[in-house]
Amino acid sequence: MLRCAWVLLALVVTGCSEAPPAPAPKPMPSKLEGMWSDPPPTAVGTLCFFACTDAAIERLNALLDDPKNDARPFPQLAAEAQKHQTDNYLRPRLTEAALKTYPLDPADDPGFLRCEPWGLAKQMFAPHQLEIRRAGDDRIELRYGEWEAVRTVHVDGRAVPANVPPSRLGYSVGHFEGETLVVETSAVAPGITWWDSQHSDQFRVTERFTRSDDGETLNLTATIEDPWGLREPVVAKKIWRWAPNQKITPYDACEPATEFKKGTGEP
Amino acid sequence: MRRFRVGSALRRTALLCMLILLALAVTPVASHHAFSPVYDAKKTIVVEGVVTQFRFVNPHAMMLMDVTDKKTGKVVKWNVEFAGRLNLEEAGWTADSIKPGELVKVTGNPTWTGSQRMAFVKLVRADGTTLEPGRAQRLSAIEEERRQRAKQREQQPAQQATPEK
């Protein structure tokens, strides 16, 4: 009986005392922090200036390794690799619903017509500057030169809230796997992908950012899913170059299109 | 009539220039939207005039120039559209890269509508110095990479044929 009383007393004391302090936030690897910009001037870097897939990279390397192509201009080879990517990788992954409007006419781009900033599906691959900075212990900010867009990545272990409304850049949570920053984003409003297809609010993406061993490049592998628009995930890649002297300048002079022709996109 | 015969070296140079222009013309400008709805990338035009304004801004830098019609003497305003400041700074451009009052000759892609507007390809100043977009430097680096790649390819069979000592 006395033993039970001691146990009860111990439980009461424990319950009334202050909660143990939360563990100190785990320091974030800083290898990724800083300013990045356009890829190195290599063949693959240029192919992936916006975004690319392994299908395009492999095709380009095969074309470059064939002596018959030595006299052909690089843009021609890059265009051929991109066409291979479209025909053999992207198009077969699109659902019937997405194929109805694919490829979208570039003249219908809201960014072009009305200066509307990109949604996440294009913004995450935006050319030029990307600045990665921690913003406190629980968040990382991704700042892009294009459109001066800012994404917040919550790295405090939370999940994407169930009731968060879809927005242009979605809701991002992240964690580190060693030196790799893994960012998962959902709650993205319907928009346009980097391959000029529509996507739904079921769009979600997992981005993996890693720095190369020599420290000179930042590599992104993004696995994109959208049950409405994709039969299976698209795995896209992008490269940035370490550019500590670059800066993001104001993006304040966009003018809506006044003269244009429709039907100039990919046939 | 005396005919001027173009030497083979000159012909080669001209061909090389044409290839570079073709390469520049078909390389898309990385920007916030495709240029194709506005400009015909398969054509280039050359316009000479005096710069009146250069706006080093995002998403696209713009240049205004006065172009005088040699026959009528009438001055027409032309608008040249560039990639954005974000892009041009990568290639080392500044707000002073083009100054008002400069006489310049600009090569660009014309609009589909034939208006007095073009997408920038190359600029030559009165003193012969030139300005090119960042993609010209990029293409030059890639050509060097391709040369190295071809050299390695040629060396590989020779290396394989060399017996180990």
Domain regions of chain A by residue span: 34-242
- Its pTM stands at 0.83
Q: What local confidence, expressed as pLDDT, does residue A22 receive?
A: 57
Q: What local confidence, expressed as pLDDT, does residue A203 receive?
A: 98
| B32 in contact with chain A, both atoms CB, cutoff 8 A | yes
In a domain? residue B73: yes
| Alpha carbons B143 and B146: distance in angstroms, whole number | 5
Say yes or no to pLDDT of B105 above 50: yes
In a domain? residue B133: yes
**In degrees rounded to 5, what are phi and psi of residue A245?**
-90, -5
For chain A, how many residues are written? 267
pLDDT bracket for residue B162 (50, 70, 90): low
Domain count within chain B = 1
Question: Which of A42, A112, A250 comes nearest B37 by C-beta?
Answer: A112
- Taking CB atoms and an 8 Å limit, are B59 and A254 in contact across chains? yes
**Smallest CA–CA separation between B150 and chain A, in Å?**
7
- For residues B76 and B67, the answer to whether their CB atoms sit within 8 Å is yes
- Taking CB atoms and an 8 Å limit, are B89 and A65 in contact across chains? no
Q: What local confidence, expressed as pLDDT, does residue B133 receive?
A: 84
Q: Which residue of A has its CA nearest to B111?
A: A260
Helix (H) or strand (E) segment spanning residue B139: helix B134-161
- Taking CB atoms and an 8 Å limit, are B143 and A74 in contact across chains? yes
**Smallest CA–CA separation between B27 and chain A, in Å?**
6
Question: Which of A75, A129, A259 comes nearest B38 by C-beta?
Answer: A259
pLDDT bracket for residue B31 (50, 70, 90): low
What single letter denotes the amino acid at residue A105? D
Mean pLDDT for back-to-back runs of 10 residues, chain A (267 residues): 46 46 58 94 95 98 96 96 98 98 87 89 96 93 96 96 96 95 98 96 98 96 98 98 94 85 69
In a domain? residue B84: yes
pLDDT tens digits along B126-143: 999 999 887 788 999 999
In a domain? residue B15: no
- For residues B62 and B119, the answer to whether their CB atoms sit within 8 Å is no
Q: What residues in B contact A146, CB-CB < 8 Å?
A: 32, 59, 86
CATH number at residue B81: 2.40.50.140
Q: What residues in A contact B42, CB-CB < 8 Å?
A: none
